[in-house]
Amino acid sequence: MTRVRSLNTKRFWLRLLWLSVGLVWPIWSARAHHERCTCPAQIESLSAAVARAEAVFVGEVTEIADPSQSALLLFAARFDTRLYQQAFAARQISLTVSESWKGVETTRVQVWTKPAGGECGYPFAVGNHYLIYAHRIEERWVTNACLRTRAISGATLDLTYLHTLPVLALRPMLAWEWMCLLAAIVLVLSLAGVFFRFRQRRNVLPLRSPSPWIK
């Protein structure tokens, strides 16, 4: 009896070990696949880089949405190619813009970049300030590590040149939460107006005379 119980215990721990490997392996292998970034070799002057970029601005990162940080998504991606692509899709970087020379004309903007590593995404961090060079792709601002995007601390040369150029006037952009709240208020007021107008018309309609057949 003791021998059978010991055998069952060994089988339990062996199954647990294989389950752990099955959970950790897709995460590790997916991350290992995205370790190195190779940028195309090109020598480009600062003025040419500014001219080629569709957006050049300075911003502080306020939020980062990164799907590759979801362990559940990475595990599911092992069995579904679409989920794998989603797990390593571009990260959405939300920024507060302080200066802009091209492209961006609002105080808030979202930039997309691939995860750092083999996809050549730029490693943004919340709370840091960056000089960003971006291109417009499918209605999104996109940047990567192969452009001149960099932290403000390493962008002295770029900023010295950019400050000789005219800056764009920035207009405030409502946050999505306020825009949704405003839309909800407008919808409620519209429905209330329709309701009260319906009741008013109903009260104005003349009453029908009783049928002569009813005594």
Task: Tell me if 22 is assigned to some domain.
Answer: no
Q: How many structural domains is the chain composed of? A: 1
Confidence band of 33 (pLDDT split at 50, 70, 90): very low
Task: Tell me if 97 is assigned to some domain.
Answer: yes
Task: Tell me if 119 is assigned to some domain.
Answer: yes
Task: Tell me if 201 is assigned to some domain.
Answer: no
**Residues 56-65 pLDDT 10s:** 999 999 999 8
**Residues 120-142 pLDDT 10s:** 889 999 999 999 999 998 889 99
Between residues 29 and 44, which one has the greater pLDDT? 44
Task: Tell me if 5 is assigned to some domain.
Answer: no
The amino acid at residue 54 is E
CATH number for the domain spanning 96: value is 2.40.50.120
Average pLDDT score over the chain: 76
Report yes or no on whether pTM surpasses 0.75.
no
Output the 3-class SS for the chain. Answer: CHHHHHHHHHHHHHHHHHHHHHHHHHHHHHHHCCCCCCCCCCCCCHHHHHHHCCEEEEEEEEEEECHHHCHHHHHHHCCCHHHHHHHCCCEEEEEEEEEEEECCCECEEEEEECCCCCCCCCCCCCCCEEEEEEEEECCEEECCCCCCCEEHHHCHHHHHHHCCCCCCCCECCCCHHHHHHHHHHHHHHHHHHHHHHHHHHHHHCCCCCCCCCCC
Q: What is the pLDDT of residue 120?
A: 82
Confidence band of 29 (pLDDT split at 50, 70, 90): very low
State which residues form the domain around 123.
Answer: 46-162
Rounded Cα distance, 59 and 152, in Å: 9
CB atoms within 10 A of CB 46: 13
Q: What is the pLDDT of residue 34?
A: 45
Task: Tell me if 1 is assigned to some domain.
Answer: no
Between residues 81 and 39, which one has the greater pLDDT? 39
Rounded Cα distance, 128 and 151, in Å: 7
Rounded Cα distance, 50 and 161, in Å: 10
Task: Tell me if 90 is assigned to some domain.
Answer: yes
Task: Tell me if 33 is assigned to some domain.
Answer: no
% of the chain residues with pLDDT over 70: 59
Of 114, 74, 120, the residue nearest 92 (C-alpha): 114
